[in-house]
């Protein structure tokens, strides 16, 4: 039985919470963002916001707040999670990490009802009281005190206070000078009226108030806008004249600064809490407000549900509020939070669109300064470009870098199509020439120094030369400096003395300005089979059995010669970083030797073969991948069977250590060194699945490259194309730009409407998308829906869209399918199926019609056209195809239809069978004749389709069910009789159908074989098929898209690898936990801070729902935790590996292979 493995490809990008505080430096404010379970710290620079730090939390973040402890120069960060875990963090400037100062867990009764709005955390203006709103009718009060003695705890024990205001919409502390902070609550009473109440949080003795509405409520304001959801505290006037004015006029009924603004949809109300005077302002048009942020004491930035921004101005006469004014200044992303970065610059955080940095220009307009991509929420996505999935023999070859995901992301105005690909991007600049049979390519300069101005392209029987000018134009020439063009060039490069070296099978030559100046040839009857060099030496293999070291400073004189006897040279390499050594790989022994180029004496040797392997080293490079202060040079050896070995090289004695191995393909990879700007180097490996090997965060990373057809590459630093690379493929030579490191590449097609569903057609090379558009016209919201085609490459719209009636019909599902026809040759044709629901059908003739099933074809102009439609008595939530028949999931029923297409523009539907669901189907998945139905409340049921026989009708019978209450969101078949289910609590469950059970009940039972809490609600799961070998570590099975914009790769762990991965996860989890079980040894008395907050990994990943909770994940491995093994010090790695079985080297190689999957 397989276990489950999960690894992130694209981390959450939706920003729910923001906070501005002096966390990193007392004199500089930074911006803290909460993205699902990650904390990100950003700094403002002249070039925009840059990320200063990022950390994963073992919990989904629900609140952020600033705390300034007594005596602290910097602010501390208060963080809360959805599982009622709370902790405070400070920035450690020495370690450049977040340190946990204090943590606690709320152990309130589980039956307390959560608050009607999101969890809130407030700190009063004096910084002495922290209030948390978590449950209905309850406030948690925490005093912020001065630490006693040597303790660092500054949060007192939380105290719960009951309040009568049950449905609190918003709350805030008021600005005041009293030692008794005032709290304002905007709430809905039992009659549905919206009211505002104010209380003093502490009584005269400094104890928590009783919040008695009769005794303690100081204000109770009614007649507020029913749609009011926000309240804004207004500071008091600070100048002395204003203070005297306030005191002198305290008895008058004027509204002074220091009150609160209730922001409603139709009117704004200002309340002076002390004088109880109010000021009203009626809005010109009704507006649904999303959030707000203070500009200064009398100006506030408001954002509405459409992304429009407004400035609210408080009109004052001295300190007296005389009125308010609201004016629209522009449109940005729909915001979840706004933060004032100073100097008129604001950060716009969004859940449904890109995050932005904007500047307000003279209070009249806005300018977008920076856009930070956000792919949340992922409503639907499709998978394409699975790279070399056909004919793969090892899963290790698979990488998400070979998969392109196209997502329907965002909502309404922020809706878009996104192309998401993980890996190192290779962007084509242009095609230089079309030519076949390229073996190697080199870049030279004919001048005294860079830039490059010549490309040398080597073929099996010739060499061609191309000149580059300063404008970027290419011209082929016969030769340069007399280099040979009638033979294959093995090696050519510039020397520091102005000469150019060329190595062919017949000779090694040095060329001056116009001709050859020195030449070395092997003995008669011998040919050169391999060569490598640097600025001092050239090491060549003659006839594969003799090594010759040539001195470049001695005009190619032979410095040393060595006969290898019965062994042969497979490859040679002379590194640039250690100039007096050469490295040779040998055929017979399958080993490598490091030689002294002065005498070709052996310095050290390394046996590469394992006991069960006969592989041969085929390419070698030695270069500085990691910074010198962290590591010496790294040696990479490409083996014949597709494995790449790596070793750390000691600069003093050239000894090799830290052996690692990773599979990049089934044949040897060609290795090419590429320079980086920081004095380090990358290695480009060309094979079936090209990879870039680079250093990141102190470790070596293997990343997929989007250059599947590359044969060889070289770096090019020309005047017109600096820092570029030349890529040779099977049939062309092209110029490209490459990223230094892996990242998620996102391309965006803004649509300005919600991409509800998406389906891909390989035949049409297009996406079919169902989208929903929202417009506001004369205070009326108009909803329109359409189905259209979009090009697969440029994302441009094709043809004309099919538009549905406004405010009437909504697209619920879109699939592409092959359907049977009864005309022409009778071969199945490709069609798009669209399911819809009606918003309102109150007219008598159509009151029982709640949706439609439509079939579209594509005409010669690549426009969708309607073939037929079928009215339904329920909304068509999802569609599938089983053996040419259409399966539609309606409100309470799954229906199967026979589809008959009579002509290219007419067809009929015939109902064959139905299945009644428990409540409402939310997703279906079809495998053979089994339909998996995900129910919105009752988990998953399996329904078998049986064709009618002997005059009996077709049947849909339930053959399996998961008998638990699970609010499902999606279901997908991932293996034989195995299904992956997600629910609205963020859980993932793997269900196995016990088809061969003993009893009938056993055979109908779906049992849980793995479960884990992801912490994000999954909207869509897409199955992938990757052929793997029996030795694969994991088998990729599906991609997962979430509401927070994250994409995960789900895999199954074969039985032979389950034990090592589960035990490794247990060991790593115990490292970061201060508590250990009786079965898990305490590996480290000083727990390693994988995550701040002293949070437990098992609790974080344990299944949780309204009906069931567990203590830890069940048969589920978290790839993100496993990969943190590579971040540990070598001593700690050895401690973790002790007793697990594999060596530290094998564990590192294992984790590197897993990491390369994404």
Least confident interval from 16-20, 115-119, 1061-1065: 115-119
3-state secondary structure of 115: coil
* Residues contacting residue 528 through CB under 8 Å, at least 6 positions apart: 490, 503, 504, 505, 506, 507, 508, 522, 540, 541, 542
> 657 with 712, same domain?
no
Question: How much is the mean pLDDT over the chain?
Answer: 88
Mean pLDDT within 220-231: 92
- Residue where the block lists tokens 């293999």: 541
Mean pLDDT within 898-919: 92
In a domain, 908, yes or no: yes
- Long-range contacts (CB closer than 8 Å, 24 or more residues apart) made by 140-148: 140/106, 141/201, 141/208, 144/67, 144/69, 146/69, 146/70, 146/71, 147/69, 147/70
pLDDT at 243 over 60: no
> 495 with 535, same domain?
no
pLDDT at 389 over 70: no
Spatial distance between the Cα atoms of 38 and 453, rounded to a whole number of angstroms: 47
Helices (H), 5-110: none
> 479 with 496, same domain?
yes
What is the tally of structural domains in the chain?
Answer: 4
Closest CA to 332 of 301, 361, 313, 354: 354
> 1062 with 1086, same domain?
yes
Spatial distance between the Cα atoms of 940 and 970, rounded to a whole number of angstroms: 9
Question: In the beta sheet, which residues pair with residue 452?
Answer: 718
With cut-offs at 50, 70 and 90, classify the pLDDT of residue 168: very high
CA angle 1065, 1066, 1072 (to 5 degrees): 90
Tokens of residue 154, six digits? 């500054």
Distance from the Cα of residue 349 to its chain's centroid? 17
Q: Which of 916, 949, 970 is the last residue of a domain?
A: 916
In a domain, 1094, yes or no: yes
Spatial distance between the Cα atoms of 201 and 215, rounded to a whole number of angstroms: 13
HEC readout, 447-475: CCCCCECEEEEECCCCEEEEEECCCCCEE
CA dihedral of residues 112, 116, 117, 120 (deg, nearest 10): -30
pLDDT tens, residue by residue, 340-379: 999 999 999 999 999 999 999 988 899 999 999 999 999 9
pLDDT at 15 over 90: yes
In a domain, 831, yes or no: yes
What pLDDT is stored for residue 847 in this prediction?
61
> 652 with 770, same domain?
no
3-state secondary structure of 332: coil
Q: Which domain holds residue 860?
A: 758-916
Question: In the beta sheet, which residues pair with residue 991?
Answer: 979, 1008
Q: Tell me whether residue 945 is exposed, middle or buried, using C-beta atoms within 10 angstroms of its C-beta: 0 to 12, 13 to 18, 19 or more.
A: buried
Spatial distance between the Cα atoms of 104 and 84, rounded to a whole number of angstroms: 9
Spatial distance between the Cα atoms of 264 and 261, rounded to a whole number of angstroms: 9
pLDDT at 1037 over 80: yes
What pLDDT is stored for residue 824 in this prediction?
83
Q: Which of 885, 900, 916 is the last residue of a domain?
A: 916
Q: Which H helix or E strand runs over 558?
A: strand 557-563
Closest CA to 831 of 901, 920, 778: 901
- Residue where the block lists tokens 């040797």: 605
DSSP class of residue 396? G
Spatial distance between the Cα atoms of 786 and 871, rounded to a whole number of angstroms: 18
Rounded to the nearest 5 percent, the helix, strand and coil shares of the chain are 5, 50, 40
* Residues contacting residue 693 through CB under 8 Å, at least 6 positions apart: 625, 636, 644, 682, 683, 684, 685, 700, 701, 702, 703
The 10 Å Cβ neighbour count of residue 434 is: 10
Contact assessment for residue 359 and residue 1000, using Cβ atoms and an 8 Å cutoff: no
3-state secondary structure of 278: strand
Closest CA to 912 of 943, 874, 886: 886
Tokens of residue 890, six digits? 């309606």
Contact assessment for residue 535 and residue 496, using Cβ atoms and an 8 Å cutoff: yes
Spatial distance between the Cα atoms of 355 and 334, rounded to a whole number of angstroms: 9
Spatial distance between the Cα atoms of 643 and 640, rounded to a whole number of angstroms: 7
Separation in Å, CA 749 to CA 83, 344, 425: 37, 29, 19
Distance spanning both ends of the chain, measured CA to CA: 24
> 511 with 580, same domain?
no
Higher pLDDT, 665 or 63: 63
In a domain, 315, yes or no: no
Closest CA to 1052 of 319, 214, 1, 55: 1
Closest CA to 22 of 71, 123, 79, 90: 90
Separation in Å, CA 216 to CA 163, 182, 204, 1017: 11, 11, 12, 42
pLDDT at 393 over 70: no
> 502 with 598, same domain?
no
Spatial distance between the Cα atoms of 348 and 18, rounded to a whole number of angstroms: 9
pTM of the model: 0.78
- Residue where the block lists tokens 């497979």: 570
In a domain, 927, yes or no: no
Least confident interval from 51-60, 71-80, 240-249, 1108-1117: 240-249
3-state secondary structure of 523: coil
In a domain, 658, yes or no: yes
Q: Interhelix angle for 1130-1137 vs 1055-1071, to 10°?
A: 130
Q: Tell me whether residue 533 is exposed, middle or buried, using C-beta atoms within 10 angstroms of its C-beta: 0 to 12, 13 to 18, 19 or more.
A: buried
Spatial distance between the Cα atoms of 24 and 1017, rounded to a whole number of angstroms: 32
What pLDDT is stored for residue 722 in this prediction?
87
> 1064 with 1149, same domain?
yes
What pLDDT is stored for residue 742 in this prediction?
63
Spatial distance between the Cα atoms of 184 and 170, rounded to a whole number of angstroms: 8
With cut-offs at 50, 70 and 90, classify the pLDDT of residue 1078: very low
pLDDT at 814 over 50: yes
pLDDT at 394 over 60: no
CATH code at position 1081: 1.10.150.910
What pLDDT is stored for residue 20 in this prediction?
96
**Phi and psi (nearest 5°) for 359?**
-130, 135
3-state secondary structure of 667: coil
What pLDDT is stored for residue 1145 in this prediction?
86
> 771 with 821, same domain?
yes
Q: Is the peptide bond before 415 cis (omega within 30 degrees of 0)?
A: no
Higher pLDDT, 606 or 702: 606
Mean pLDDT within 56-84: 93
With cut-offs at 50, 70 and 90, classify the pLDDT of residue 509: very high
pLDDT at 247 over 70: no
In a domain, 681, yes or no: no
> 766 with 848, same domain?
yes
> 623 with 724, same domain?
no
Q: Which H helix or E strand runs over 1069?
A: helix 1055-1071
3-state secondary structure of 397: helix
pLDDT at 1072 over 70: no
> 768 with 867, same domain?
yes
Spatial distance between the Cα atoms of 860 and 864, rounded to a whole number of angstroms: 10
Spatial distance between the Cα atoms of 449 and 416, rounded to a whole number of angstroms: 47
Separation in Å, CA 43 to CA 61, 356, 1007: 21, 14, 49
Closest CA to 786 of 772, 807, 765, 767: 772
With cut-offs at 50, 70 and 90, classify the pLDDT of residue 1079: very low
What pLDDT is stored for residue 1029 in this prediction?
64
Spatial distance between the Cα atoms of 850 and 870, rounded to a whole number of angstroms: 11
CATH code at position 474: 2.130.10.10
With cut-offs at 50, 70 and 90, classify the pLDDT of residue 1094: confident
In a domain, 799, yes or no: yes
What pLDDT is stored for residue 1081 in this prediction?
46
pLDDT tens, residue by residue, 660-679: 887 776 678 899 999 887 78
What pLDDT is stored for residue 1155 in this prediction?
81
Least confident interval from 115-124, 278-287, 291-300, 938-947: 115-124
What pLDDT is stored for residue 396 in this prediction?
34
pLDDT at 1027 over 90: no
* Residues contacting residue 961 through CB under 8 Å, at least 6 positions apart: 939, 940, 941, 942, 1004, 1005, 1006
3-state secondary structure of 590: coil
What pLDDT is stored for residue 843 in this prediction?
52
Tokens of residue 957, six digits? 């019978």
What pLDDT is stored for residue 941 in this prediction?
96
* Residues contacting residue 62 through CB under 8 Å, at least 6 positions apart: 80, 81, 82, 118, 119
């Amino acid at each position: 039985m397989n276990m489950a493995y999960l690894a992130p490809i694209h981390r959450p990008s939706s920003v729910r919470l923001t906070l501005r505080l002096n966390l990193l430096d007392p004199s500089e404010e930074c911006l803290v963002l909460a993205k699902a379970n990650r904390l990100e710290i950003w700094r403002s620079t002249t070039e925009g916001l840059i990320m200063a730090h990022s950390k994963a939390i073992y919990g989904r973040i629900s609140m952020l707040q600033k705390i300034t402890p007594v005596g602290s120069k910097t602010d501390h960060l208060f963080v809360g999670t959805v599982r009622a875990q709370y902790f405070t963090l400070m920035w450690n400037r020495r370690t450049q990490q977040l340190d946990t100062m204090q943590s606690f867990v709320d152990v309130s009764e589980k039956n307390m009802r959560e608050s009607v709005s999101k969890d809130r955390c407030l700190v009063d203006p004096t910084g002495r009281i922290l209030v948390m709103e978590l449950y209905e009718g309850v406030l948690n009060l925490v005093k912020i005190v001065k630490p006693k003695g040597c303790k660092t705890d500054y949060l007192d024990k939380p105290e719960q206070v009951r309040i009568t205001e049950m449905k609190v919409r918003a709350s805030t502390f008021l600005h005041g000078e009293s030692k008794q902070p005032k709290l304002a609550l905007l709430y809905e009473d039992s009659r549905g009226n919206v009211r505002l109440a104010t209380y003093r949080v502490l009584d005269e003795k400094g104890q928590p108030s009783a919040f008695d509405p009769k005794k303690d409520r100081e204000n109770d304001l009614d007649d507020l806008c029913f749609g009011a959801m926000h309240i804004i505290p207004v500071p008091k006037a600070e100048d002395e004249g204003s203070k005297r004015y306030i005191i002198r006029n305290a008895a008058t009924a004027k509204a002074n600064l220091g009150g609160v603004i209730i922001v409603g949809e139709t009117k704004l109300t200002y309340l002076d809490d002390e004088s109880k005077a109010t000021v009203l302002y009626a809005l010109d048009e009704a507006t649904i407000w999303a959030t707000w942020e203070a500009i200064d004491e009398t100006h506030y930035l408001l954002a509405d549900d459409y992304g429009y921004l407004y400035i609210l101005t408080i009109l004052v006469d001295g300190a007296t509020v005389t009125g308010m004014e609201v004016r629209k200044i522009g449109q940005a992303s729909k915001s979840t939070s706004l933060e004032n970065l100073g100097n008129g610059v604001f950060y716009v955080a969004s859940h449904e669109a890109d995050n932005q940095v904007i500047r307000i220009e003279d209070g009249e307009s806005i300018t977008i300064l920076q856009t930070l991509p956000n792919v949340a929420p992922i409503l639907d996505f499709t998978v394409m470009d699975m790279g070399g999935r056909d004919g793969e023999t090892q899963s290790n070859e698979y990488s998400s870098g070979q998969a392109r995901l196209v997502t329907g992301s965002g909502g309404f105005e922020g809706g878009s199509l996104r192309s998401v690909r993980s890996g190192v991007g290779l962007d084509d600049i242009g095609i230089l020439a079309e030519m076949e049979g390229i073996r190697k390519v080199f870049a030279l300069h004919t001048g005294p120094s860079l830039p490059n101005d010549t490309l040398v392209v080597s073929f099996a029987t010739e060499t061609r030369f191309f000149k580059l000018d300063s404008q970027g134009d290419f011209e082929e020439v016969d030769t340069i400096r007399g280099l040979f063009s009638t033979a294959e060039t093995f090696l050519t490069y510039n020397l520091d003395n102005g000469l150019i070296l060329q190595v062919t099978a017949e000779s090694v030559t040095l060329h001056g300005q116009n001709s050859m100046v020195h030449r070395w040839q092997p003995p008669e009857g011998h040919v050169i089979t391999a060569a490598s060099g640097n600025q001092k030496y050239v090491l060549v293999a003659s006839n594969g059995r003799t090594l010759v070291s040539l001195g470049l400073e001695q005009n190619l004189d032979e410095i040393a010669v060595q006969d290898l006897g019965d062994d042969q040279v497979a490859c040679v390499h002379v590194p640039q970083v250690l100039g007096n050594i050469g490295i040779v790989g040998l055929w017979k022994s399958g080993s490598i030797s490091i030689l002294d180029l002065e005498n070709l004496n052996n310095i050290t040797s390394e046996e590469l073969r394992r006991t069960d392997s006969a592989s041969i080293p085929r390419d070698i490079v030695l270069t500085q991948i990691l910074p010198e202060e962290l590591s010496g040079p790294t040696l990479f050896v490409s083996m014949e069977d597709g494995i790449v070995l790596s070793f750390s090289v000691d600069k003093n004695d050239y000894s090799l250590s830290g052996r690692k191995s990773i599979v990049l393909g089934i044949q040897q990879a060609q290795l090419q060194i590429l320079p980086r700007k920081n004095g380090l180097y990358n290695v480009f490996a060309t094979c079936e699945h090209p990879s870039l090997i680079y250093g990141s965060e102190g470790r070596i990373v293997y990343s997929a490259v989007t250059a599947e057809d590359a044969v060889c590459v070289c770096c090019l630093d020309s005047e017109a194309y600096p820092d570029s690379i030349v890529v040779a493929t099977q049939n062309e030579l092209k110029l490209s730009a490459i990223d230094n490191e892996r990242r998620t590449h996102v391309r965006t097609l803004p649509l300005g409407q919600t991409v509800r569903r998406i389906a891909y057609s390989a035949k049409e090379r297009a996406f079919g998308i169902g989208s929903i558009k929202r417009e506001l016209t004369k205070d009326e919201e108009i909803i329109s829906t359409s189905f259209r085609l979009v090009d697969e490459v440029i994302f441009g719209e094709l043809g004309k869209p099919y538009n549905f009636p406004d405010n009437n019909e909504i697209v619920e599902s879109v699939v592409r399918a092959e359907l049977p026809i009864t005309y022409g040759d009778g071969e199945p044709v490709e069609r798009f199926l669209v399911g819809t629901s009606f918003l309102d059908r109150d007219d008598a003739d159509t009151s029982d019609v709640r949706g439609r099933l439509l079939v579209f074809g594509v005409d010669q102009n690549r426009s969708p056209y309607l073939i037929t439609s079928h009215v339904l008595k329920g909304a068509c939530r999802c569609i599938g195809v089983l053996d040419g028949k259409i399966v539609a999931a309606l409100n309470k029923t799954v229906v199967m239809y026979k589809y008959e297409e009579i002509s290219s523009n007419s067809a009929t539907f015939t109902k064959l069978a139905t299945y009644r669901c428990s409540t409402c189907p939310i997703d279906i998945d079809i495998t053979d004749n089994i339909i998996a139905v995900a129910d919105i409340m009752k988990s998953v049921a399996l329904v078998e389709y049986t064709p009618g026989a002997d005059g009996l009708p077709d049947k849909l019978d339930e053959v399996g069910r998961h008998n638990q209450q699970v609010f499902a969101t999606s279901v997908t078949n991932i293996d034989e009789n195995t299904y992956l289910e997600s629910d609205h609590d963020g859980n993932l469950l793997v269900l196995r159908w016990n088809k061969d059970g003993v009893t009938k009940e056993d055979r109908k039972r779906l049992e849980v074989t793995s479960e884990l809490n992801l912490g994000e609600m999954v909207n869509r799961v897409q199955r992938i098929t990757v052929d793997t070998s029996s030795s694969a570590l994991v088998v990729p099975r599906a991609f997962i898209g979430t509401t927070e914009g994250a994409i995960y790769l789900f895999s199954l762990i074969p039985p032979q690898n389950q034990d090592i991965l589960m035990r490794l996860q247990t060991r790593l989890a115990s490292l970061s936990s201060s508590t250990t079980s009786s079965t898990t040894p305490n590996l480290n008395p000083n727990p390693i801070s994988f995550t701040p907050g002293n949070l437990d990994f098992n609790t974080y990943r344990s299944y949780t729902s309204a009906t069931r909770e567990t203590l830890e994940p069940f048969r589920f491995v978290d790839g993100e935790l496993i990969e943190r093994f590579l971040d540990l010090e070598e001593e700690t790695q050895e401690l973790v590996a002790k007793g697990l079985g594999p060596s530290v080297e094998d564990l590192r190689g294992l984790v590197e292979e897993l990491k390369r999957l994404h």
